[in-house]
Amino acid sequence: MTGLQKTETLELELKQGWLTIWFNQPDNRNALSDALVAELGDVLKSVRDDRTVRGITMRGRGGVFCAGADLKNFKDNFQQSGDRAAIIRMSSGAAEIFDLVNTAPQVVIVLVEGAAMAGGFGLACCADVVLCESGARFAMTETAIGVSPAQISPFVIQKLGYAIGRRLMLTAARFDGTKAHELGFADFIADDVPGLEAIEMQLRKQVLGAAPGAVAATKELLGQISGQPREKVIRLAAENFADRMVSDEAREGIASFFEKRKPNWVVKPE
């Protein structure tokens, strides 16, 4: 199993194959600072090929998930210089963290307390499952401060669909967790943190009963087939299925079915 690395802006917990990544910069409401983004990227890369890490939960210390981009960094390091090429490099680099979350082979859960704004909202859109407090606050505030929700826009559309995503991004609309659930952003809501954690534990139990290689293969296939012609989808799906059918996991899973026992990858949460 992957060992936990030392981090300054994150707290990491690895238990029974489940990695919890706490954003730990409550003084700036866990904004996406350069340091936090770099460390989060390093952590996700370190577990990407480790199938003993079965799932990942991201959440924030200080009662808030993420306030979005670090605007002080924007003001001090990019607006004053006016260096367009540097801004393009920064924005292109920021895209990596969204891709790493979106394509992680593990199941990724985001647990939102307090708020998820702008880039924090976009980051949550990259997860497989979103849980939030009913009273949490959300908005993509970029247009309200004169910028665009550039790198998060594909993932907002992926999560919410074109019409709803377009409206929310253009109007910088503010809404709460109950509305987020109605819109399809939040998969589950609860009135308090214990309620969210109870839902998360049930999700963990489900994920820990699924074969990690099969989960990774399914996520890979879903990433490949979007927007592809039907003929190509059929071929990609068939090749994906064939690879799984001859895998050790499939042999174990089918054998366990006939032998009326649980397969060897099932982990029972404490």
Report how far residue 258's alpha carbon sits from residue 13's, in angstroms, rounded to the nearest whole number: 36
Out of 207, 224, 242, a domain closes at 207
Q: Is residue 137 part of a domain?
A: yes
Element (H, E) at 190: strand 188-190
Residues 188 and 217 in one domain: no
Give pLDDT tens digits for 100-151. 999 999 999 999 999 999 999 999 999 999 999 999 999 999 999 999 999 9
Average pLDDT, the chain: 94
Q: Is residue 264 part of a domain?
A: no
Out of 167, 182, 207, a domain closes at 207
Partners of residue 63 on adjacent β-strands: none
Q: Is residue 229 part of a domain?
A: yes
Residues 202 and 220 in one domain: no
Partners of residue 130 on adjacent β-strands: 110
Report how far residue 97's alpha carbon sits from residue 108's, in angstroms, rounded to the nearest whole number: 13
Residues 200 and 216 in one domain: no
Domain tally, the chain = 2
- pTM for the model stands at 0.94
Residues 131 and 229 in one domain: no
CB atoms within 10 A of CB 178: 16
Give pLDDT tens digits for 161-174. 999 999 999 999 99
Residue 177: predicted pLDDT: 98
**Which is higher by pLDDT, 247 or 81?**
247
Count Cβ atoms within 10 A of the Cβ of residue 140 and give its class: 0-12 exposed, 13-18 middle, 19 or more buried: buried
Q: Indicate whether 78 pLDDT > 80.
A: no
**Residue 269 confidence class, pLDDT cut points 50, 70, 90:** low
Residues 191 and 74 in one domain: yes
Q: Is residue 230 part of a domain?
A: yes
Report the SS3 class of residue 13.
strand
Residues 240 and 106 in one domain: no
User: Dihedrals φ, ψ of 191, to 5°?
Assistant: -80, -15
Residues 126 and 229 in one domain: no
Count Cβ atoms within 10 A of the Cβ of residue 38 and give its class: 0-12 exposed, 13-18 middle, 19 or more buried: middle
CB atoms within 10 A of CB 202: 12
Q: Is residue 270 part of a domain?
A: no
Residues 35 and 93 in one domain: yes
Report how far residue 59's alpha carbon sits from residue 40's, in angstroms, rounded to the nearest whole number: 12
Q: Is residue 1 part of a domain?
A: no
Report how far residue 204's alpha carbon sits from residue 227's, in angstroms, rounded to the nearest whole number: 30
- 18-23 and 115-117 as β-strands: parallel, antiparallel, unpaired? unpaired
Residues 71 and 171 in one domain: yes
Q: Is residue 3 part of a domain?
A: no
Residue-range definition of the domain harbouring residue 48: 10-207
Distance between start and end Cα atoms, the chain: 18
Residues 113 and 174 in one domain: yes
Q: Is residue 266 part of a domain?
A: no
Residues 133 and 194 in one domain: yes
CATH number at residue 40: 3.90.226.10
Residues 244 and 110 in one domain: no
Report how far residue 49's alpha carbon sits from residue 156's, in angstroms, rounded to the nearest whole number: 26
**Residue 5 confidence class, pLDDT cut points 50, 70, 90:** confident
